[in-house]
Amino acid sequence: MTPVAPVHPGQLNALLPAQRSDTPRLRVATYNIHKGVRGVGPGKRLEIHNLGMGVKALDADLVFLQEVRLFNQREARHFDRTWFGWPEEGQAEFLAPEGYEAAYRTNAVTRDGEHGNALLSRWPLGEIRHHDVSDHRFEQRGLLYVPVSWQGGVVHTVVAHLGLIHASRVRQVQRLHDFIASHVPAGEPLLVAGDFNDWGERLDTPMAGLGLLRARSPDGRLSSRLTFPSRVPIFALDRVYTRGFRCVRSSVPRGPAWARMSDHLPLLVELELS
């Protein structure tokens, strides 16, 4: 078993620093954490403790997380004798920095545990809902919906992790549309973020049909949104789609510390109400 190797906080650099503005800004991150574990066999290592430092370093108001474990009995036994060990609480609560609220709902149930989506928030949360968007029996997928109180109003948030097959993703976007139409008041600010598995860059058009625009760096740089694979990112699978916001800046932190913690890199954006 590979011992836990903690990342030094100083290695978590190259982040987008918060900027002062007369207009309130919402700092949003989305991150697929790969269930807090990397590698296979004897080389498997626990990264959830490093991810805790990473999430804190992002300094985001809202953190959209995918592949989050509530529990896993096999992994808990495997890492029981490592330096830090498997956390006693669910990964969402474990990763939430001090003062944040955490929301979690399960997407997939396995023999040893379960995993799903989570939202970490500096701001108060409303009623949490889960919507199953599984398209076939081989992939369990869901949407996590959480209204968030911000600046005297409500920002509606949806954490998404779509399927591996394009036709499934198209149908899941339609189910997302139906859910939004049923649960989110028209015209109110909305964020849909997560891992869209959109290898072919084909979902922006159907998402725009829902009134959701992809948050992009204003300078249009492609490098500011490539997140997968983490060591040499060439795909922009992790995204933030918005309604009622404009993107001021975006960034993907890089470096060995970030590359080791998950197979994805986090995407970080700053938004203003439009």
Residue 271 has pLDDT above 50, yes or no: yes
**How many C-alpha atoms does 102 have within 13 Å on its Cβ side?**
19
At 118-128, the pLDDT tens digits run 999 999 999 99
Average pLDDT score over the chain? 91
Length of the chain: 274
At 230-269, the pLDDT tens digits run 999 999 999 999 999 999 999 999 999 999 999 999 999 9
Most confident residue range from 4-13, 37-46, 94-103: 94-103
Preceding amide of 229 cis, omega within 30: yes
The rounded percent of the chain whose pLDDT value lies above 90 is 76
CA-nearest of 91, 94, 13, 19 to 57 is 13
Query: Please, are residues 172 and 135 in contact by the beta-carbon 8 Å criterion?
Result: yes
Could you give all domains of the chain from N- to C-terminal order, each with its CATH number? 25-273 (3.60.10.10)
Task: Quote the strand ranges of the chain, DSSP E.
Answer: 25-32, 37-38, 45-46, 62-72, 101-109, 113-121, 129-132, 142-150, 153-161, 190-195, 213-214, 238-243, 245-251, 267-273
Residue 60 has pLDDT above 80, yes or no: yes
Residue 223 has pLDDT above 60, yes or no: no
pLDDT of residue 73: 87
Query: Please, are residues 180 and 143 in contact by the beta-carbon 8 Å criterion?
Result: no
pLDDT of residue 14: 47
The rounded percent of the chain whose pLDDT value lies above 70 is 90
Residue 4 has pLDDT above 60, yes or no: no
Section 177-206 average pLDDT: 97
Burial of 97 (0-12, 13-18, 19+ CB in 10 A): middle
Centre a 10 Å sphere on the Cβ of residue 59 and count the other Cβ atoms it contains. 16
Instruction: pLDDT band for 43, please (50, 70, 90 cuts).
Output: confident
Section 157-166 average pLDDT: 97
Q: What is the pTM of this model?
A: 0.92
